[in-house]
Amino acid sequence: MENPILDFLYLVCIILFIIGLKRLSHPDTAKKGNMIAGFGMGAAILITMFYPMENESNNYLWIVGGLILGGIIGFTAAKKVKMTAMPEMVSLFNGLGGACSMLIAAVEFYNLPEGTPMMSTEVLTIIFALFVGSIAFTGSIVAWGKLDGFLRDSLVLPAPQVINIIMLVAVLVLSGFIMVQPELNFTLVIILLIVCLVYGITFVTPIGGGDMPVVISLLNSFTGIAAAGAGLIYGNQVMIVGGIIVGASGTILTVLMCQAMNRSLFNVIIGGFSGSGSSSGSDREQVVKEASHSDTAIQLKYSNKVMVVPGYGLAVAQAQHICHDLEKALENEGVEVKYAIHPVAGRMPGHMNVLLAEADVPYPKLLELEEANEQMSTTDMVLVIGANDVVNPAAKEDTGSPIYGMPILDVELAGTVIVLKRSMRPGYAGIENPLFFGEKTKMLFGDAKDSLGKLKEEVGNA
Amino acid sequence: MDSILQFIIDNIEMLYILVFAIFLGMEVISKVPTVLHTPLMSGANAISGVVVIGAIILIRNTNPGNYIMLIIGMLGIALATVNVIGGFAVTDRMLHMFKKKKK
C-alpha cells in the first residue's frame, strides 16, 4: 500500500538528514544541524506510525511504550554522562542500534512465509542485516568495555588473526548452508546469530585501547549499513538512504582518523598496539628529573611563551577548568599561553577541544598539530598535562616502536618540558616514552588537578 | 546467473539510490575540521538509529496476540530509541560547549 503524501514526507526526512549532517561539519552551524537531523528523525518515526499497511494491527501501545522507555533511558544517560566518558557512551549507543538491526533480522527470518525459496535475495538481505548488526552490537560493547576500563587490553586471544579468519569463514559457510536448504531451518539461523555475535567480540578484542576511536567510528558505519540492510528487508527508503549515508560518512571519518595517526585502517585492525615496544628508548639514559611546584611556577612566570599539551590525563583529572585558571593567571603576568592539540589526543579526535571549550578556553588559543610544531622552537616552556603517546619521540626515532610514523608534537624543540603525570606508567598504547628521560624534561608527579592548582597559587604568590 | 540479471532489472532504481547515497555520504563529510570529528561521529551515530523505523514496521504487522513478538519488537524500539535520543542529546551537549566560547 502506498500513500503519496507520506511518501513525499519520507523524502523530506531524508533531505533533513543530509542537511543536518552537512551543517554538523561546520562549527558555526553544527548545533542547528544536529537539531535538523533530530527533527527529521522525529518526523520519520511519526510518518512510519501512520503509514498505511497491509494486515496492520498497529499495536500502538507497544510502540509508544518502547519509544518512551528508550527515550527516557537515552536522555538520562546522555545528560548524566561526564564529558570524559563521552566516547564510551557513543560506543554503547551505537551497539544498541546494531542490536536493534539484529533483532529485526532474526524476527524477519522467523516470520518468513512458508515456502519462501531460501536461495533468494530476500534471504541474503536478512542474513546481511543479521551479520552486520550483530558485529556492530558485540563489537561496540567490547569497545565500550575497553574504554570504560572493565575490559583490559591484557585480555589476549591466541592468534587473533587466525581466529577471525576462521570466524569469517564460518559465517560464510553457515550462510551458504542456510540458503541451500529446501526450507527455513531456524536452528541454523540461531547458530549463525551466535557465531556472528562471537565474531564481533573476536573482531574488536585484539585491537588496542588506543585505537578504540577508530574502531568506534568503524562500528558506527557498520550500524548504518545494518540499518540500511534492515531497510532493504522492508523496502523503506528512509532507512536505506539514512543508513547508507551514515555508513559512507562513517567510513570516511574512520579513514580521516587513521590518517591523523599515519596508519592504515588495515594496520589498525590487524596489527593493533601489541604490548610494549620491542626496543624502545634504546640509547637514552634512563634518569628521571623531578620538578617542584614552586620552581616550575617561577619558571612559568618568567617565560615569554608557554605551550600546554593536554591529553587524556587532563580529562580524567577533570582539570580543564583549573588549567584555564592557570592560563589566565599567566596571561595576567604577560605570558603568552597557547594549547597544542594533537589530532588524537584524548580518546577521540576533538576530545580535547570539547573539553577545553567546556572550560571557556578561547578558541584562537587552540593550535593544531602543524601550527603548534611551527611555534615550538620559539616556546620557552611546554606543559604536558596527562599526555603521553602524542609527545613520544619514539614515533620519530625508533623504527621498532608500534607508533613509529605517527606525527607527534615536537615538544623537545622548546626550552623546557614539564610533564605532569601521576606516575611513570606508560600511556594507553602501553609503550615507554623516552621523552620522560630527556635532557630538557622534568617530571611533576601527582594528580593533574592538584598540581595545576598549586602551580596557579604559586604563580599568584611568587 | 539469470536470477542475478533479473534482480538487477527488478531493483535498478534501488541500485541507483544505493550508489548515489554512498557518494553523497562520502561528499557530505569530506571536509571537516578535526574539532568536529567527535560531535559529527556522535550525530551520525544518532542517525543510524533510523533502524527504529524497522522495529515500528515490524510491530505494526504483528498479530496482537503474539506477545513474544511484541516484546521483542518493543525491545528493538527501545534499544534504537536509546541510540537516537541519547545520540542527539549527547551531540547537543558537546556542541553546546562550542557555542559558549564564542561569546
Decide if B43 and A33 are in contact by the 8 Å CB cutoff.
Answer: yes
Cα(A394)–Cα(A390) distance, rounded to whole angstroms? 10
Q: Looking at the domain A293-461, which fold is it?
A: Rossmann fold (3.40.50)
Mean pLDDT of A222-251: 93
Q: Per the structure block, which three cell numbers stand in for B30?
A: 569530506
Cα(B89)–Cα(A38) distance, rounded to whole angstroms? 9
- Is it the case that residue A273 has pLDDT exceeding 50? no
Spell out which residues of chain A touch residue B98, defining contact as CB-CB under 8 Å.
27, 30-31, 353-354, 357
Cα(A305)–Cα(A381) distance, rounded to whole angstroms? 7
Buried b (16+ CB within 10 A) or exposed e, A151-170: bebeeeeeebeebbeebeeb
- Is it the case that residue A244 has pLDDT exceeding 60? yes
Decide if A121 and B88 are in contact by the 8 Å CB cutoff.
Answer: no
At residue A264's C-alpha, the angle toward residues A260 and A267, to 5°, is 125
What pLDDT, on the 0 to 100 scale, is given for residue A278? Answer: 36
Tell me which residues of chain B, numbers 43 to 102, contact chain A at a CB-CB cutoff of 8 Å: 43-64, 69-70, 72-102
Model pLDDT for residues B12-71, shown as the tens digit of each residue: 888 898 999 999 988 887 767 766 778 888 999 999 999 999 999 999 999 898 999 999
Q: Per the structure block, which three cell numbers stand in for A243?
A: 543508513
- Is it the case that residue B2 has pLDDT exceeding 90? no
Separation of first and last alpha carbons in chain B: 63
Mean pLDDT of A153-171: 83
Distance from CA of B72 to the nearest CA of A (A): 7
Of the pLDDT bands very low, low, confident and very high (cuts 50, 70, 90), residue A262 is low
Among the partner residues A41, A81, A226, nearest to B84 by beta-carbon distance: A41
Residue A400 carries which DSSP code? T
Cα(A204)–Cα(A194) distance, rounded to whole angstroms? 16
Residue A347 carries which DSSP code? T
Handedness of CA A119, A122, A123, A124 (dihedral sign): positive
Of the pLDDT bands very low, low, confident and very high (cuts 50, 70, 90), residue A44 is very high
Q: Which of A384, A381, A391 is nearest to A330 (CA)?
A: A381
Of the pLDDT bands very low, low, confident and very high (cuts 50, 70, 90), residue A364 is confident
What pLDDT, on the 0 to 100 scale, is given for residue A92? Answer: 95
Tell me which residues of chain B, numbers 21 to 40, contact chain A at a CB-CB cutoff of 8 Å: 21-26, 28-40
Burial class (CB in 10 A: 0-12, 13-18, 19+), A8: exposed
- pLDDT exceeding 70 applies to what percent of chain A? 93
Q: Do A225 and A247 form a contact (C-beta atoms < 8 A)?
A: yes
Q: Per the structure block, which three cell numbers stand in for A34?
A: 544536529
Q: Do A128 and A101 form a contact (C-beta atoms < 8 A)?
A: no
Q: List the single best residue of B50, B69, B90, B94 to mutate versus A (max A Cβ within 10 A).
A: B50
- Is it the case that residue A37 has pLDDT exceeding 90? yes
Q: Which residue of A has its CA nearest to B95?
A: A31
Cα(A393)–Cα(A438) distance, rounded to whole angstroms? 10
Largest CA distance in chain B: 64
Mean pLDDT of A224-228: 95
Mean pLDDT of all residues in chain A? Answer: 86
Decide if B44 and A253 are in contact by the 8 Å CB cutoff.
Answer: yes
Q: Which residue has the higher pLDDT, A425 or A361?
A: A361
Model pLDDT for residues A317-346, shown as the tens digit of each residue: 888 889 999 888 888 888 899 999 888 787
What pLDDT, on the 0 to 100 scale, is given for residue A426? Answer: 67
Mean pLDDT of A102-120: 89
Q: Which residue of B has its CA nearest to A106?
A: B72
Q: Do A47 and B62 form a contact (C-beta atoms < 8 A)?
A: no
**For chain B, domain boundaries:** 1-31, 34-103
Spell out which residues of chain A touch residue B35, defining contact as CB-CB under 8 Å.
27, 350, 353, 366
- Is it the case that residue A166 has pLDDT exceeding 70? yes
Q: Residue A124: enclosing H or E segment and its boundaries?
A: helix A121-148
**For chain A, domain boundaries:** 81-270, 293-461
Q: Is A389 a catalytic residue?
A: yes
Q: Per the structure block, which three cell numbers stand in for A452?
A: 595545576
Q: Which residue has the higher pLDDT, A438 or B66?
A: B66
**Residues linked to residue A340 through DSSP beta bridges, in sequence order:** A367
Q: Flag the least confident range among A92-96, A248-252, A346-350, B99-103.
A: B99-103
Q: Does B8 reach chain A within 8 Å, measured CB to CB?
A: no
Q: Does A169 reach chain B within 8 Å, measured CB to CB?
A: no
What pLDDT, on the 0 to 100 scale, is given for residue B34? Answer: 67
What pLDDT, on the 0 to 100 scale, is given for residue A76? Answer: 95
Q: Residue A336: enclosing H or E segment and its boundaries?
A: strand A336-341
Q: Flag the least confident range among A82-86, A125-129, A182-186, A389-393.
A: A82-86
Q: Do A307 and A379 form a contact (C-beta atoms < 8 A)?
A: yes
User: At a CB cut-off of 8 Å and minimum separation 6, what does A159 contact?
Assistant: none
**For the sheet containing A305-310, what is the strand order?**
A366-368, A336-341, A305-310, A381-385, A416-421, A441-445
Decide if A65 and B74 are in contact by the 8 Å CB cutoff.
Answer: yes
Cα(A79)–Cα(A138) distance, rounded to whole angstroms? 24
Mean pLDDT of A128-151: 92
Q: Do A90 and B42 form a contact (C-beta atoms < 8 A)?
A: yes
What pLDDT, on the 0 to 100 scale, is given for residue B101? Answer: 42
What pLDDT, on the 0 to 100 scale, is given for residue A274? Answer: 43
Question: Residue type for B35, please?
Answer: V
Model pLDDT for residues A280-326, shown as the tens digit of each residue: 333 344 567 788 888 888 888 888 899 999 988 888 888 888 999 98
